[in-house]
Amino acid sequence: MHRFVAAPLAMFGLVCAVAAQDEEDVSPYREMKTLARAVELIRQDYVDEDKTDYEGLVYSALQGMLADLDPHSDFMDPKDFKGMQEDTRSEFGGLGVVVGLKNERLTIVAPMEGTPGFRAGLLPGDVLLEINGQSADKMSLRDAVEKLRGEAGTAVKLAIGRAGSPEPLKFEIQREVIKVPSVRGARVLPGDGPRVGYLRVTQFSEPTGREFGRALDGLEKEGIDALVIDLRFNPGGLLSGAVEVAGEFLPGGSLVAYTEGRSASAQRRYLAPGKGREARAYPVAVLVNGSSASGAEIVAGALKDSGRALLVGETTFGKGSVQSVVVLPDGSALRLTTAKYFTPGKQPIHEKGVVPHVIATMTAGDEARLLAARRQEDLPAGTKREEIQPVDDLPLQRAVDALRGTLLQATREGTAEPSAGG
Domain membership of residue 54 as a residue range: 3-68
Residue that terminates a domain, selected from 177, 203, 233 = 177
Distance CA 420, CA 310 (A): 6
Statement to judge: residues 27 and 173 lie in one domain: no
Please check whether residue 224 is in contact with residue 192, taking contact to mean a CB–CB distance below 8 angstroms: no
- Shared domain for 236 and 353, answered yes or no, is yes
Q: Are 293 and 234 in contact, with CB atoms under 8 Å apart?
A: yes
Helix or strand (DSSP H, E) at 200: strand 196-201
How confident is the model at residue 4, as a pLDDT?
35
Task: Looking at the structure, tell me whether residues 214 and 163 fall in a common domain.
Answer: no
The pLDDT value recorded for residue 13 is 35
- DSSP string computed for 41-69: HHHHH-S-GGG--HHHHHHHHHHHHHHTT
Residues 218 and 234 in one domain: yes
pTM of the predicted structure, to 2 decimals? 0.77
> Mind telling me the catalytic residues?
294, 305, 319
Identify whether the C-beta of residue 269 lies closer than 8 Å to the C-beta of residue 255: yes
Q: How much is the pLDDT for 404?
A: 92
- Among 177, 197, 216, identify where a domain stops: 177
Classify residue 332: in a domain, yes or no: no
Give which of 296, 311, 285, 289 is closest to 227, Cα–Cα: 285
For position 8, what pLDDT does the model report?
Answer: 36
- Residue 22 CB: number of other CB atoms within 10 A? 11
* Domain CATH code at residue 372: 3.90.226.10
As a whole number of angstroms, the distance between CA 60 and CA 416 comes to 64
Query: What tens-digit pLDDT sequence spans the chain (422 residues)?
Result: 433 333 333 333 333 333 344 445 556 778 888 888 999 999 999 999 888 898 989 999 998 999 899 888 989 999 888 877 765 555 568 898 888 888 889 999 888 888 899 999 999 999 999 999 999 988 888 889 889 988 889 999 999 999 889 999 999 999 998 877 899 999 999 988 899 999 999 999 889 999 999 999 999 999 999 999 999 999 998 899 999 999 999 999 999 999 999 999 999 999 998 765 555 889 999 999 999 999 999 999 999 999 999 999 999 999 999 988 999 999 999 999 999 999 999 999 999 999 999 999 999 889 988 988 888 776 655 556 667 777 889 999 999 999 999 898 877 776 545 444 44
Domain count, the chain: 3
Closest CA to 191 of 407, 412, 411, 3: 407
Same domain for 120 and 240:
no
Same domain flag for 37 and 163: no
Q: Whole-angstrom distance between the N-terminal and C-terminal Cα of the chain?
A: 62
Task: Report the CATH number at residue 101.
Answer: 2.30.42.10
Answer whether residue 422 is part of any domain: no
Name 239's Cβ contacts closer than 8 Å, sequence gap at least 6: 204, 270, 295, 298
What pLDDT does 389 receive? 75
Residues in the chain: 422
Using DSSP's 3-state secondary structure scheme, residue 205 falls into coil
Same domain, yes or no: 8 and 149? no
